Amino acid sequence: DAGVIQSPRHEVTEMGQEVTLRCKPISGHNSLFWYRQTMMRGLELLIYFNNNVPIDDSGMPEDRFSAKMPNASFSTLKIQPSEPRDSAVYFCASSLRGIYEQYFGPGTRLTVT
């Protein structure tokens, strides 16, 4: 079975541009998570969906960030407008049992210049 799929794997953009990150969870998993990882702040949860419904978005930094999950097999994380401090690796993870045993995608390395 394919694991969690994320695209793009690398994204370089200029400050002020819109960035959209994509995630396809493992088939059958009903929970999806977006994380951000930086050296300074470590691995931070941004938002958590269960059955396509956002359960906890308290980690979303500010209004520039938004996430959607229109169906069970696709989710997006959008940053508009992007800023240099958004540079990080963004991971999507999915699970069959809520927060338990999460399977992480390969990540998207975002660089905002």
Partner 1 sequence: QQPVQSPQAVILREGEDAVINCSSSKALYSVHWYRQKHGEAPVFLMILLKGGEQKGHEKISASFNEKKQQSSLYLTASQLSYSGTYFCGTEYSGSARQLTFGSGTQLTVLP
Q: Give the tokens for residue 81.
A: 């407008």
Question: Which residue, 77, 72, 76, is CA-closest to 29?
Answer: 72
Among 1, 2, 53, 58, binds partner 1 (CB under 8 A): 58
Asked if 56 touches partner 1 (CB under 8 A), the answer is yes
Asked if 72 touches partner 1 (CB under 8 A), the answer is no
Question: Which residue, 106, 97, 98, 77, is CA-closest to 2?
Answer: 106
From residue 8 to residue 47, the character string flagging contacts with partner 1 as x (rule: CB under 8 A) and all else as - is: ----------------------------------xxxx--
* DSSP designation for 102: -
Residues binding partner 1 (CB under 8 A): 42-45, 48, 55-56, 58, 91, 98-107
